[in-house]
Amino acid sequence: MATFAYVGRSRSGAVRKGELSAKNRDEAVDQLRKQSIVVTSLDEKAGKSGFNLSFGNGLTDKDLVVFTRQFGTMINAGLPLVQCLEILSTQSENKALRESVGEVKVQVEAGSTFSDALRRHPKVFDDLYVNMVHAGEVGGLLDTILTRLAKHIEKAMKLKGQIKSAMVYPAAILGVAGVVITVLMIWVIPIFAKMFDELSSGKVGLPGPTQLVIDISNAFQSYWYVAAGLVAGLIFGVKKYYATPKGRMAIDKFLLKTPVFGDLIRKASVAKFTRTLGTLLSSGVPLLDGLIICAKTSGNKVIEEALLNARVSISGGKTIADPLTQSQVFPKMVTHMIAVGESTGALDAMLGKIADFYEDEVDQAVASLTSLLEPMMMVFLGVVIGFIVIAMYLPIFKMASAIG
Protein backbone atom coordinates (compact mmCIF):
# COMPACT_ATOMS: atom_id res chain seq x y z
CA MET A 1 0.00 0.00 0.00
CA ALA A 2 1.28 3.46 -0.94
CA THR A 3 0.46 6.72 0.82
CA PHE A 4 -0.93 9.61 -1.25
CA ALA A 5 -1.26 13.26 -0.22
CA TYR A 6 -4.29 14.85 -1.87
CA VAL A 7 -5.91 18.26 -2.31
CA GLY A 8 -9.47 18.52 -3.62
CA ARG A 9 -12.85 20.19 -3.31
CA SER A 10 -16.07 18.82 -1.85
CA ARG A 11 -19.54 19.36 -3.35
CA SER A 12 -19.92 22.54 -1.32
CA GLY A 13 -16.67 23.90 -2.74
CA ALA A 14 -14.69 23.52 0.49
CA VAL A 15 -11.01 22.63 0.12
CA ARG A 16 -10.15 19.15 1.39
CA LYS A 17 -6.59 18.09 2.22
CA GLY A 18 -5.25 14.89 3.68
CA GLU A 19 -3.58 11.54 3.12
CA LEU A 20 -4.89 8.10 2.26
CA SER A 21 -3.52 4.62 1.62
CA ALA A 22 -4.11 2.86 -1.70
CA LYS A 23 -2.43 0.34 -3.99
CA ASN A 24 -2.08 2.85 -6.84
CA ARG A 25 -3.21 6.29 -8.05
CA ASP A 26 -6.37 4.98 -9.70
CA GLU A 27 -7.55 3.37 -6.46
CA ALA A 28 -6.76 6.58 -4.57
CA VAL A 29 -8.80 8.64 -7.04
CA ASP A 30 -11.64 6.13 -6.80
CA GLN A 31 -11.65 6.41 -2.98
CA LEU A 32 -11.82 10.19 -3.18
CA ARG A 33 -14.55 10.04 -5.81
CA LYS A 34 -16.67 7.91 -3.46
CA GLN A 35 -16.19 10.63 -0.83
CA SER A 36 -17.49 13.21 -3.34
CA ILE A 37 -14.12 14.93 -3.53
CA VAL A 38 -12.91 16.34 -6.85
CA VAL A 39 -9.14 15.85 -6.93
CA THR A 40 -7.01 18.86 -7.81
CA SER A 41 -3.67 17.43 -6.66
CA LEU A 42 -2.55 13.88 -5.85
CA ASP A 43 1.07 13.03 -5.01
CA GLU A 44 2.56 9.77 -3.81
CA LYS A 45 4.67 10.22 -0.69
CA ALA A 46 8.19 8.83 -0.90
CA GLY A 47 8.79 5.72 1.19
CA LYS A 48 11.21 6.00 4.08
CA SER A 49 14.59 4.36 3.69
CA GLY A 50 17.95 4.27 5.38
CA PHE A 51 18.47 4.85 9.07
CA ASN A 52 15.28 6.66 10.02
CA LEU A 53 14.04 6.73 13.57
CA SER A 54 10.31 6.05 13.79
CA PHE A 55 8.40 7.03 16.89
CA GLY A 56 5.03 5.69 15.70
CA ASN A 57 1.81 7.70 15.64
CA GLY A 58 1.64 8.16 19.40
CA LEU A 59 -1.54 6.09 19.65
CA THR A 60 -1.77 4.02 22.84
CA ASP A 61 -4.04 1.13 23.77
CA LYS A 62 -5.64 3.39 26.36
CA ASP A 63 -6.64 5.91 23.67
CA LEU A 64 -8.23 3.12 21.66
CA VAL A 65 -10.08 1.74 24.70
CA VAL A 66 -11.54 5.16 25.56
CA PHE A 67 -12.60 5.73 21.94
CA THR A 68 -14.20 2.28 21.65
CA ARG A 69 -16.09 2.55 24.96
CA GLN A 70 -17.40 6.02 24.14
CA PHE A 71 -18.41 4.89 20.67
CA GLY A 72 -20.25 1.84 22.01
CA THR A 73 -22.10 3.97 24.59
CA MET A 74 -23.22 6.46 21.93
CA ILE A 75 -24.42 3.70 19.58
CA ASN A 76 -26.30 2.05 22.46
CA ALA A 77 -27.96 5.41 23.24
CA GLY A 78 -29.34 5.53 19.69
CA LEU A 79 -27.11 8.21 18.13
CA PRO A 80 -26.55 7.90 14.37
CA LEU A 81 -23.18 6.47 13.31
CA VAL A 82 -22.02 9.62 11.50
CA GLN A 83 -22.92 11.82 14.46
CA CYS A 84 -20.93 9.55 16.80
CA LEU A 85 -17.92 9.80 14.53
CA GLU A 86 -18.31 13.58 14.29
CA ILE A 87 -18.31 13.95 18.09
CA LEU A 88 -15.38 11.58 18.65
CA SER A 89 -13.27 13.10 15.88
CA THR A 90 -13.40 16.49 17.59
CA GLN A 91 -12.87 15.44 21.21
CA SER A 92 -10.16 12.76 20.95
CA GLU A 93 -6.89 13.88 22.56
CA ASN A 94 -4.70 11.79 20.22
CA LYS A 95 -3.97 13.53 16.93
CA ALA A 96 -3.57 10.33 14.86
CA LEU A 97 -6.85 8.91 16.18
CA ARG A 98 -8.65 12.22 15.72
CA GLU A 99 -7.54 12.53 12.08
CA SER A 100 -8.30 8.88 11.30
CA VAL A 101 -11.80 9.07 12.81
CA GLY A 102 -12.43 12.27 10.82
CA GLU A 103 -11.47 10.50 7.59
CA VAL A 104 -13.62 7.48 8.54
CA LYS A 105 -16.60 9.82 9.01
CA VAL A 106 -16.08 11.31 5.55
CA GLN A 107 -15.84 7.84 3.99
CA VAL A 108 -19.00 6.63 5.78
CA GLU A 109 -20.86 9.73 4.58
CA ALA A 110 -19.73 8.88 1.04
CA GLY A 111 -21.42 5.46 1.29
CA SER A 112 -18.69 3.20 2.62
CA THR A 113 -19.49 0.73 5.40
CA PHE A 114 -18.01 1.47 8.79
CA SER A 115 -15.73 -1.58 8.76
CA ASP A 116 -14.46 -0.83 5.23
CA ALA A 117 -13.69 2.72 6.27
CA LEU A 118 -11.75 1.46 9.30
CA ARG A 119 -9.85 -0.99 7.09
CA ARG A 120 -8.25 1.94 5.27
CA HIS A 121 -6.43 2.94 8.46
CA PRO A 122 -4.42 -0.17 9.43
CA LYS A 123 -1.98 1.79 11.60
CA VAL A 124 -4.85 2.71 13.94
CA PHE A 125 -7.38 -0.10 13.53
CA ASP A 126 -5.87 -3.59 13.13
CA ASP A 127 -7.45 -6.69 11.55
CA LEU A 128 -8.93 -7.81 14.87
CA TYR A 129 -10.71 -4.49 15.35
CA VAL A 130 -11.99 -4.31 11.78
CA ASN A 131 -13.27 -7.89 11.67
CA MET A 132 -15.11 -7.58 14.96
CA VAL A 133 -16.74 -4.33 13.83
CA HIS A 134 -17.73 -6.04 10.57
CA ALA A 135 -19.31 -8.90 12.53
CA GLY A 136 -21.18 -6.35 14.65
CA GLU A 137 -22.47 -4.55 11.56
CA VAL A 138 -23.70 -7.76 9.97
CA GLY A 139 -25.33 -9.04 13.16
CA GLY A 140 -26.79 -5.68 14.20
CA LEU A 141 -24.90 -5.82 17.51
CA LEU A 142 -22.37 -3.06 16.98
CA ASP A 143 -22.73 -1.58 20.49
CA THR A 144 -22.29 -5.01 22.12
CA ILE A 145 -19.28 -5.81 19.93
CA LEU A 146 -17.63 -2.47 20.71
CA THR A 147 -18.03 -3.05 24.46
CA ARG A 148 -16.58 -6.54 24.07
CA LEU A 149 -13.75 -5.14 21.95
CA ALA A 150 -12.89 -2.52 24.58
CA LYS A 151 -12.70 -5.23 27.27
CA HIS A 152 -10.45 -7.32 25.01
CA ILE A 153 -8.06 -4.39 24.42
CA GLU A 154 -7.94 -3.72 28.16
CA LYS A 155 -7.03 -7.34 28.91
CA ALA A 156 -4.41 -7.33 26.13
CA MET A 157 -3.02 -4.07 27.53
CA LYS A 158 -2.76 -5.62 31.00
CA LEU A 159 -0.98 -8.69 29.62
CA LYS A 160 1.47 -6.49 27.70
CA GLY A 161 2.13 -4.48 30.86
CA GLN A 162 2.92 -7.67 32.79
CA ILE A 163 5.49 -8.72 30.20
CA LYS A 164 7.07 -5.26 30.19
CA SER A 165 7.29 -5.20 33.97
CA ALA A 166 9.14 -8.53 33.86
CA MET A 167 11.71 -7.08 31.44
CA VAL A 168 12.11 -3.61 32.97
CA TYR A 169 13.71 -4.71 36.26
CA PRO A 170 16.69 -6.68 34.85
CA ALA A 171 17.18 -4.08 32.12
CA ALA A 172 17.28 -1.28 34.71
CA ILE A 173 19.74 -3.14 36.95
CA LEU A 174 22.03 -3.98 34.03
CA GLY A 175 21.82 -0.37 32.83
CA VAL A 176 22.84 0.97 36.24
CA ALA A 177 25.65 -1.60 36.43
CA GLY A 178 26.89 -0.55 33.00
CA VAL A 179 26.92 3.15 33.93
CA VAL A 180 28.70 2.53 37.25
CA ILE A 181 31.37 0.29 35.70
CA THR A 182 31.90 2.76 32.82
CA VAL A 183 32.39 5.68 35.26
CA LEU A 184 34.85 3.62 37.32
CA MET A 185 36.84 2.50 34.29
CA ILE A 186 37.06 5.87 32.54
CA TRP A 187 37.41 8.35 35.43
CA VAL A 188 38.18 6.59 38.73
CA ILE A 189 40.62 3.79 37.85
CA PRO A 190 43.02 6.13 35.92
CA ILE A 191 43.45 8.23 39.10
CA PHE A 192 44.47 5.14 41.08
CA ALA A 193 46.73 3.94 38.24
CA LYS A 194 48.55 7.29 38.16
CA MET A 195 48.95 7.26 41.94
CA PHE A 196 50.36 3.71 41.97
CA ASP A 197 52.77 4.57 39.17
CA GLU A 198 54.09 7.62 41.06
CA LEU A 199 54.47 5.72 44.33
CA SER A 200 56.30 2.76 42.83
CA SER A 201 58.13 4.80 40.15
CA GLY A 202 57.35 1.92 37.80
CA LYS A 203 59.83 -0.38 39.62
CA VAL A 204 57.41 -2.46 41.68
CA GLY A 205 54.92 -4.69 39.94
CA LEU A 206 51.23 -4.42 40.79
CA PRO A 207 49.12 -7.37 42.03
CA GLY A 208 47.49 -9.40 39.27
CA PRO A 209 43.87 -8.29 39.90
CA THR A 210 44.97 -4.63 40.05
CA GLN A 211 46.91 -4.88 36.80
CA LEU A 212 43.94 -6.62 35.13
CA VAL A 213 41.54 -3.83 36.14
CA ILE A 214 43.99 -1.13 34.99
CA ASP A 215 44.48 -2.88 31.63
CA ILE A 216 40.70 -3.06 31.15
CA SER A 217 40.44 0.63 32.07
CA ASN A 218 43.14 1.52 29.50
CA ALA A 219 41.28 -0.48 26.89
CA PHE A 220 38.05 1.35 27.79
CA GLN A 221 39.74 4.72 27.26
CA SER A 222 41.66 3.82 24.11
CA TYR A 223 39.16 1.66 22.28
CA TRP A 224 35.71 2.75 23.55
CA TYR A 225 34.63 3.56 19.99
CA VAL A 226 35.48 -0.01 18.91
CA ALA A 227 33.32 -1.44 21.72
CA ALA A 228 30.50 0.97 20.87
CA GLY A 229 30.78 0.01 17.20
CA LEU A 230 30.70 -3.71 18.01
CA VAL A 231 27.60 -3.30 20.21
CA ALA A 232 25.85 -1.16 17.59
CA GLY A 233 26.82 -3.62 14.84
CA LEU A 234 25.58 -6.57 16.87
CA ILE A 235 22.23 -4.89 17.54
CA PHE A 236 21.86 -3.87 13.89
CA GLY A 237 22.82 -7.37 12.68
CA VAL A 238 20.35 -9.10 15.00
CA LYS A 239 17.57 -6.71 13.91
CA LYS A 240 18.32 -7.32 10.22
CA TYR A 241 18.44 -11.08 10.78
CA TYR A 242 15.19 -11.00 12.77
CA ALA A 243 13.54 -9.11 9.88
CA THR A 244 13.98 -12.20 7.66
CA PRO A 245 11.49 -15.11 7.98
CA LYS A 246 14.29 -17.60 8.70
CA GLY A 247 15.90 -15.33 11.29
CA ARG A 248 12.65 -14.57 13.04
CA MET A 249 11.79 -18.26 13.26
CA ALA A 250 15.25 -19.12 14.65
CA ILE A 251 15.23 -16.34 17.27
CA ASP A 252 11.63 -17.00 18.34
CA LYS A 253 12.41 -20.71 18.73
CA PHE A 254 15.44 -19.83 20.84
CA LEU A 255 13.38 -17.47 23.03
CA LEU A 256 10.79 -20.18 23.69
CA LYS A 257 13.55 -22.55 24.83
CA THR A 258 15.30 -20.12 27.19
CA PRO A 259 14.97 -20.91 30.91
CA VAL A 260 12.37 -18.88 32.84
CA PHE A 261 11.82 -16.34 30.04
CA GLY A 262 10.74 -19.03 27.57
CA ASP A 263 8.04 -20.28 29.93
CA LEU A 264 6.80 -16.72 30.46
CA ILE A 265 6.68 -16.03 26.70
CA ARG A 266 4.81 -19.30 26.05
CA LYS A 267 2.20 -18.59 28.74
CA ALA A 268 1.70 -15.03 27.50
CA SER A 269 1.32 -16.25 23.89
CA VAL A 270 -1.25 -18.87 24.91
CA ALA A 271 -3.21 -16.28 26.92
CA LYS A 272 -3.16 -13.83 23.99
CA PHE A 273 -4.16 -16.46 21.39
CA THR A 274 -7.03 -17.94 23.41
CA ARG A 275 -8.34 -14.52 24.48
CA THR A 276 -8.26 -13.18 20.91
CA LEU A 277 -9.80 -16.26 19.28
CA GLY A 278 -12.47 -16.56 21.97
CA THR A 279 -13.43 -12.90 21.52
CA LEU A 280 -13.59 -13.26 17.74
CA LEU A 281 -15.70 -16.43 17.83
CA SER A 282 -18.15 -15.01 20.39
CA SER A 283 -18.52 -11.95 18.13
CA GLY A 284 -19.47 -14.04 15.08
CA VAL A 285 -16.17 -14.04 13.20
CA PRO A 286 -15.63 -17.38 11.35
CA LEU A 287 -13.03 -19.72 12.83
CA LEU A 288 -10.75 -19.71 9.76
CA ASP A 289 -10.71 -15.91 9.64
CA GLY A 290 -10.12 -15.81 13.39
CA LEU A 291 -7.08 -18.06 13.11
CA ILE A 292 -5.51 -15.80 10.48
CA ILE A 293 -6.00 -12.77 12.74
CA CYS A 294 -4.58 -14.64 15.74
CA ALA A 295 -1.56 -15.73 13.69
CA LYS A 296 -0.85 -12.16 12.54
CA THR A 297 -1.12 -10.76 16.06
CA SER A 298 0.68 -13.60 17.87
CA GLY A 299 4.04 -11.79 18.00
CA ASN A 300 5.93 -15.09 17.72
CA LYS A 301 6.80 -16.82 14.44
CA VAL A 302 6.59 -20.31 15.96
CA ILE A 303 3.06 -19.67 17.25
CA GLU A 304 2.12 -18.06 13.94
CA GLU A 305 3.27 -21.09 11.93
CA ALA A 306 1.38 -23.46 14.24
CA LEU A 307 -1.86 -21.48 13.85
CA LEU A 308 -1.55 -21.20 10.06
CA ASN A 309 -0.90 -24.95 9.80
CA ALA A 310 -3.91 -25.55 12.03
CA ARG A 311 -6.03 -23.42 9.70
CA VAL A 312 -4.98 -25.52 6.69
CA SER A 313 -5.85 -28.73 8.57
CA ILE A 314 -9.22 -27.34 9.68
CA SER A 315 -10.11 -26.29 6.14
CA GLY A 316 -9.41 -29.93 5.20
CA GLY A 317 -11.98 -31.19 7.70
CA LYS A 318 -9.95 -31.75 10.87
CA THR A 319 -10.72 -30.36 14.32
CA ILE A 320 -8.74 -27.43 15.70
CA ALA A 321 -7.35 -29.48 18.62
CA ASP A 322 -5.58 -32.10 16.46
CA PRO A 323 -3.17 -29.84 14.52
CA LEU A 324 -2.48 -27.74 17.62
CA THR A 325 -1.52 -30.93 19.51
CA GLN A 326 0.74 -32.06 16.65
CA SER A 327 2.55 -28.71 16.61
CA GLN A 328 3.85 -29.41 20.18
CA VAL A 329 3.85 -25.66 20.78
CA PHE A 330 0.81 -25.47 23.05
CA PRO A 331 0.60 -27.21 26.44
CA LYS A 332 -1.44 -30.43 26.54
CA MET A 333 -3.94 -28.91 28.94
CA VAL A 334 -4.74 -26.21 26.38
CA THR A 335 -5.35 -28.63 23.51
CA HIS A 336 -7.42 -30.96 25.71
CA MET A 337 -9.64 -28.07 26.85
CA ILE A 338 -10.02 -26.87 23.26
CA ALA A 339 -11.06 -30.40 22.23
CA VAL A 340 -13.67 -30.42 25.00
CA GLY A 341 -14.91 -27.00 23.89
CA GLU A 342 -15.28 -28.22 20.31
CA SER A 343 -17.16 -31.37 21.28
CA THR A 344 -19.58 -29.46 23.54
CA GLY A 345 -20.12 -26.58 21.09
CA ALA A 346 -18.82 -24.00 23.59
CA LEU A 347 -15.40 -23.32 22.13
CA ASP A 348 -15.53 -19.54 22.73
CA ALA A 349 -16.40 -19.98 26.42
CA MET A 350 -13.67 -22.61 26.87
CA LEU A 351 -11.11 -20.35 25.21
CA GLY A 352 -12.09 -17.59 27.63
CA LYS A 353 -11.50 -19.91 30.61
CA ILE A 354 -8.10 -20.92 29.24
CA ALA A 355 -7.19 -17.25 28.78
CA ASP A 356 -8.23 -16.43 32.36
CA PHE A 357 -6.11 -19.29 33.69
CA TYR A 358 -3.00 -18.37 31.69
CA GLU A 359 -3.30 -14.66 32.47
CA ASP A 360 -3.14 -15.64 36.16
CA GLU A 361 -0.17 -17.88 35.30
CA VAL A 362 1.59 -14.92 33.68
CA ASP A 363 0.97 -12.91 36.88
CA GLN A 364 2.62 -15.63 38.95
CA ALA A 365 5.46 -16.09 36.44
CA VAL A 366 6.26 -12.35 36.52
CA ALA A 367 6.30 -12.38 40.35
CA SER A 368 8.54 -15.47 40.39
CA LEU A 369 10.88 -13.96 37.80
CA THR A 370 11.24 -10.75 39.77
CA SER A 371 11.94 -12.60 43.03
CA LEU A 372 14.51 -14.79 41.23
CA LEU A 373 16.30 -11.97 39.40
CA GLU A 374 16.53 -9.57 42.32
CA PRO A 375 19.12 -11.53 44.36
CA MET A 376 20.96 -12.62 41.21
CA MET A 377 21.37 -9.01 40.06
CA MET A 378 22.45 -7.87 43.50
CA VAL A 379 25.08 -10.65 43.66
CA PHE A 380 26.29 -9.76 40.15
CA LEU A 381 26.67 -6.08 41.02
CA GLY A 382 28.33 -6.90 44.33
CA VAL A 383 30.86 -9.27 42.77
CA VAL A 384 31.84 -6.96 39.88
CA ILE A 385 32.12 -3.73 41.85
CA GLY A 386 33.59 -5.52 44.88
CA PHE A 387 36.31 -7.04 42.68
CA ILE A 388 37.19 -3.61 41.28
CA VAL A 389 37.35 -2.01 44.74
CA ILE A 390 39.49 -4.82 46.22
CA ALA A 391 41.80 -4.75 43.20
CA MET A 392 42.41 -1.04 43.75
CA TYR A 393 43.14 -1.46 47.46
CA LEU A 394 45.49 -4.47 47.14
CA PRO A 395 48.57 -2.30 46.30
CA ILE A 396 47.77 -0.04 49.28
CA PHE A 397 47.65 -3.05 51.60
CA LYS A 398 50.92 -4.31 50.07
CA MET A 399 52.62 -0.97 50.66
CA ALA A 400 51.31 -0.75 54.24
CA SER A 401 52.62 -4.25 54.92
CA ALA A 402 56.05 -3.36 53.51
CA ILE A 403 56.26 -0.20 55.65
CA GLY A 404 55.25 -2.19 58.74
Listed range (68-72, 79-83, 198-202) with the worst mean pLDDT = 198-202
Q: Nearest to residue 303, comparing CAs of 313, 312, 315, 291?
A: 291
High-pLDDT (> 90) share of the chain, %:
16
pLDDT confidence of 1, banded at 50, 70, 90? Answer: low
**Better-scored residue on pLDDT, 53 or 143:** 143
Per-residue DSSP letter, 46: P
> From 3.40.50.300, 1.20.81.30, 1.10.10.10, 3.60.15.10, which CATH number describes the 170-403 domain?
1.20.81.30
Residue 48 scores a pLDDT above 50: no
Domain boundaries 61-156, corresponding CATH code = 1.20.81.30
How confident is the model over 223-267, as pLDDT tens digits?
888 888 998 999 999 999 998 889 999 999 999 988 878 888 899
Per-residue DSSP letter, 9: E
Burial-class residue 353 by CB neighbours within 10 Å (0-12, 13-18, 19+). Answer: middle
Q: What pLDDT shows up at residue 163?
A: 79
> Starting at the edge strand that comes first in sequence, how are the strands of the sheet with 15-22 ordered?
15-22, 2-9, 38-44
20 sits in which H/E element = strand 15-22
Q: Which of 54-68, 136-150, 339-353 shows the highest mean pLDDT?
A: 339-353
High-pLDDT (> 70) share of the chain, %:
92
Per-residue DSSP letter, 184: I
What is the Cα Rg of the chain in Å? 29
Q: What pLDDT shows up at residue 55?
A: 40
Q: What pLDDT shows up at residue 204?
A: 60
Q: Nearest to residue 137, comparing CAs of 83, 81, 89?
A: 81
The pTM of this model reads: 0.70
